Amino acid sequence: MTAESFTATVALIGIVILVSSLLSGVVERTGVPQVAIFLLIGATLGPYGLGVFDLALESPALRAIATLGLVLVLFSDAISLDLGEIRRNRKLALLVLGPGSLIPAAIIAVASHFMLGLSWAAAAIVGASLASTDPVLLRGLIRRTDVPAQARLALRLESGMNDVVLLPIVVLSMLFLREPSVEAHASGSRLALGLFVLGPGAGVLAGLIGITLLDRVRKKFGVRRDYESLYALGVAFTAFAAAEAAGGSGFLAAFAAGITIAALDVELCDCFLDYGEATGEMFLLLTFVAFGGSLIWHGLDMLNVPTVLFALLALAARTLVLFPVLKQARVAGLDADSLRVVAWFGPRGLSTLLLVLLPVFDGIPGAEQLFTLCCLVVLMSVLLHGSAIGFIVRRGDAAPPTLGAAPVLDMTPALADAPVTALGDGATSPLTRAGLATAGVRNAPAAGTAAVPERITIEEVRELQRSGEQIVLADVRTARTFEDDPFIARGAVRLPPDDAVRLARNHGIPWKATLVAYCA
């Protein structure tokens, strides 16, 4: 890599981080597809624009970015799975993985064989790749509370697990596209062993050792929060490297490591989970920029009647299969609105491109054509599904409730009636057990008001009320913690930490009020 290309790569990473951070609020509130923005950034910086970079399919930089992105996506998707939730909703999980993933993959494979003349092995790769739903496009939709809860659950299960179901199809199909020989047959046997045994085994071992060491060291010596968040990346990359060194699939190892940690049910700080997701998302967006330079636009070169008809069928296959299946299955809690959202929103994006890149990186003849075909479908999906997500967000984006003219809440009934599951059941008081902290939104207490401590009990809150303080009780748990236990104290205001300032302003919380916050 030359000094100029290295500088361009570093600049590209910096641009992705800056732009994704600055536009995160706009994307969440307006529903503008983040993927579309970064594809346009790539086009602007690519060879058809400013010429800052030009990555080819054989570029080592592209391979590194795509590999790390897929590793982190598989790991973070697995570690965020709630196995108890999956067991409780196993019928829904089986439906979104069977009719939602495998049957559409088969339909797309058959269509690509007969409509485009692909061999059965190549068609299987295209079918499996295009059956993968994109976690980046879905993430903004899943995080919205105005989308039906059961719909968010179904989409979260599908985007979290379908890649690991489809990945073996891609890898095994690659065996049939290699030149037939005794050596290739032996290599295929080793690959199958690595795919189903060595890869998952290395991942389970890495996850088990990694999380056991973290738990013991943290209990004995303590681990800084920022380093605990970095630890997640170390586990994911170690699992990948161990499996690849043993001749297994590093991608399946990353997923196996994540699912092992989820199964062990060790208490982890949200930073461990959130940092892995954030880093994975950064790599995915960086890959979208890299593709947007020139690679993904080559899909437009394949525009003709057969390919457009195939692309439309590929995008419709999941909906045509999943809608009647879910409707007939009558899954508990899946009402009409949830059913429509789940059946329609199956966007194809980066996960599709990462899967179809595997035969390209492996040097399979004709793999570039498969990649270009998938690029066309992804572009159409970004346009169709992305715009539809924006419509759903705008339609459901209601104005938040305000506190009204009287900012002082009746804290006594609010705390007394607060569910034990939300605030704890300590011997002294729920607040003491929950570790409440205060964050006064004023710089100093007004004259005649009581001083506000860093930690506060129920009695101290009542004393502040009697002294005339304006008190607002805020539930500041992260979205992940809140989803596990959605109970909230009566009269409390929901202020997730990632968007607390804007929501506090929208709720009309007075700037002189004392904000009493609980996070556990």
- Fold observed for domain 3-396: Na+/H+ antiporter like fold (1.20.1530)
Residue 472: HSE in the Cβ half-sphere, 13 Å Cα cutoff: 25
Question: What DSSP character marks residue 48?
Answer: T
User: What is the rounded average pLDDT for all residues in the chain?
Assistant: 75
User: Looking up tokens 């049939």, which residue turns up?
Assistant: 176
Which amino acid is located at 484 in the chain?
D
The pLDDT, as a whole number, for residue 198 is: 85
**CB 390, CB 26: distance < 8 Å:** no
For 2-44, what is each residue's pLDDT tens digit?
655 667 667 777 777 787 778 777 766 666 667 778 788 888 8
**What's the pLDDT at 69?**
79
Structure tokens at 420: 């034990």
Q: How confident is the model at residue 335 (pLDDT cuts 50, 70, 90)?
A: confident
> Tell me, what's the pLDDT at 402?
36
- Tell me: the pLDDT tens digits for 417-444? 333 333 333 333 333 323 333 333 333 3
Top mean-pLDDT range of 126-130, 440-444, 513-517: 126-130
pLDDT score for 494: 81
What's the token pair of residue 141? 């939709």
- Cβ-in-10-Å burial (0-12, 13-18, 19+) of 54 comes to middle
- Over residues 134-155, mean pLDDT: 75
Please determine, for residue 250, whether its predicted confidence score (pLDDT) is greater than 80: yes
188-215 tens-digit pLDDT: 566 667 777 888 899 999 999 998 898 8
Span 440-449, mean pLDDT? Answer: 38
Residue 409 or residue 300, greater confidence: 300
- Residue 518's pLDDT is 74
Q: Domains of the chain: which residue ranges? A: 3-396, 411-518
453 residue type, one letter:
P
Q: What is the mean pLDDT of residues 145-156?
A: 77
Tell me the mean pLDDT in the region 373-390: 83
- Provide the 3-class DSSP secondary structure of residue 248: coil
* pLDDT surpassing 90 at residue 313: yes
pLDDT above 90 for 409:
no
pLDDT category of residue 269 using cuts at 50, 70 and 90 = low
- Residue 272, token pair as written in the block: 């461990």
Non-local (6+) Cβ contacts of 214 within 8 A are 223, 228, 231, 266
Q: Using the predicted structure, report yes or no on whether residue 256 has a pLDDT greater than 60.
A: yes
Q: What is the dihedral of CA 359, 363, 364, 369, to 10 degrees?
A: 80
Task: Please state whether the predicted TM-score (pTM) of the whole model is above 0.85.
Answer: no
Query: Which amino acid type is present at position 28?
Result: E
**Interval 50-83: pLDDT, tens:** 777 777 888 887 888 888 878 887 888 788 777 7
- Residue 124 burial by CB count (10 A; 0-12/13-18/19+): exposed, middle or buried? buried
Residues 6+ apart with CB under 8 A from 502: 25
Is the model's pLDDT at 392 over the cut of 70?
no
Stretch 257-280: mean pLDDT, rounded?
74
How far is residue 254's CA from residue 49's CA, in Å, rounded to a whole number? 36
The candidate with the shortest Cα–Cα distance to 173, out of 223, 130, 132, 120, is 120
Q: Coil, strand or helix: which one is 131?
A: coil
Which range among 311-315, 323-327, 489-493, 503-507 has the greatest average pLDDT?
A: 311-315
Q: How far apart, in whole angstroms, are the C-alpha atoms of residue 461 and residue 452?
A: 9
